[in-house]
Amino acid sequence: MIRPLEHIIIPLGLIAVGGLLGWSFFLAVTGEAGERLAAVALARVPDSGVSNPVTSVLLNFRAYDTLLELAVLLAALLGIWSLGAAAPGFQPAASVLDGMVNGFVPLLILSAGYMLWVGAYAPGGAFQAGALLGSAGVMLALAGHRNAGLPSEGRLRLLVALGVFVFAMTGLLLMVVGDGFLTYPPSLAKWLILLIETAATLSIGATLAAAYLGGRPAARPTTGETA
């Protein structure tokens, strides 16, 4: 059945929009833009404390964006918590699956640590590492762990807000000592970035796993499943 709005009017409007978009994009790409920021950014990568250009941009050149991004992640989780408690966990998985999960989760955590470390000079970094930690949590939740391997509420709250706190405090302390907000001294840049990334990885992992549970954690864990 053809519904006129859905199948004719909106698509026609969208084709018009698409034409305009495509035309503008064509002009933009074939215009004078050339290098854009690539040359500037790549030239400064050696001064950034890490050699992976994307990590340089994320944690140094545009670190302020990343700080606010962690705040977005925190806001989403706090919003999820304000909407209600987590649903009761899944049925405990069969022992075969459980064994598999128990073997797999440490592997994920290890690779998260690896990913965090190599992010300085190879593809990887806090977000990829955090995502791996988060998927370890999801896997535990699927295997029937009530809290996805997350700690009790008090410690979980610390964990999810840690990234924003460490990031913001680093920025402020650098400002107070006179370098400027989030302006790393070159000799310390590598270590400050690693510090921030470590805190961010923990927060991202915990936040994503907690978001998967879909509500605030149970007030008192009835079983001793805290990791």
Partner 1 sequence: MNALLTLFDLLLTLTLLGLAVVTVTSRELRRAVILFIAFGLLLALVWARLRAPDLALAEAAIGAGLSGALMLAAARRASGRKTSTGEDSDAKDAP
Partner 2 sequence: MTGQVLYSQLFYGGSGIILVLLGLWSFLVHAPLLRKLIAINLMGAGVFHMLVAIAYRGIDTSPDPVPHALVLTGIVVAVSATALALAFGKRLDQDDD
Partner 3 sequence: MMIDALPLSVTLPLIGAFAVTVSPGHARGPGLLAALLTAASALSVTAAVWSDGVLRADLGGWGVPLGIALEADGLSAAFLAMANVVALAISVYAGGYFKQESARHFWPLWLLLWSALNGLFLATDLFNLYVTLELLGLSAAALGALTGTREAVAANLRYLLVGLLGSMSYLLGVALVYAAYGVLDIGLVAEAIEPGPIAWTAMALMIGGLILKAALFPMHFWLPPAHANAPAPVSAALSALVVKAAFYLALRLWLDVFAPVLNEAAANLLGTLGAAAVVWGSWRALRAERLKLLAAYSTVAQMGYLFIAFPLLVATPPGLARDNLLAAVVLLALTHGLAKAGLFLAAGMVQKTAGHDRIDDLGGAAQALPAATFAIGLAGVALIGLPPSGTFLAKWMMLEQAMILGLWWWLVVMMIGTLLAAAYIFRVLSRAFNREPTPYRFVNDARTELPALLLGLIATFGLGIAAQPLWVLLEQGAFG
* Footprint of partner 3 (CB under 8 A): 20-21, 23-25, 27-29, 31, 33-37, 40-41, 44, 60-65, 67-69, 71-72, 74-76, 78-79, 81-83, 157-158, 160-161, 164-165, 168-169, 171-172, 175-184
Q: Which does 178 bind (CB under 5 to 8 A by kind): partner 1, partner 3, partner 2, none?
A: partner 3
Other C-beta atoms closer than 10 Å to the C-beta of 175 total: 13
Q: How far apart are the C-alpha atoms of 116 and 123, rounded to whole Å?
A: 10
For residue 33, the Cα-to-chain-centroid distance in whole angstroms is: 31
76 lines the binding site for partner 2 (CB under 8 A): yes
How many angstroms from the chain centroid is the CA of residue 95? 32
Q: Of residues 1, 4, 34, 91, which one binds partner 2 by CB under 8 A?
A: 34
Q: Give the residues lining the site for partner 1 (CB under 8 A).
A: 52, 54-55, 115, 123-125, 127-128, 131-132, 134-135, 138, 208, 211-212, 214
Record the tokens describing residue 107, joined without a space: 């592997």
Q: Compute how many other C-beta atoms are within 10 angstroms of the C-beta atom of residue 103.
A: 9
**Residue 216: strand pairing partners:** 85
- 127 part of the interface to partner 2, by CB under 8 A: yes
Give whichever of 6 and 47 is closer to partner 2, judged by the CB atom. 6
Q: Residue 85 has what DSSP assignment?
A: B
- CB closer to partner 3 out of 11 and 79: 79
Check if the beta carbon of residue 195 is closer than 8 Å to that of residue 170.
yes
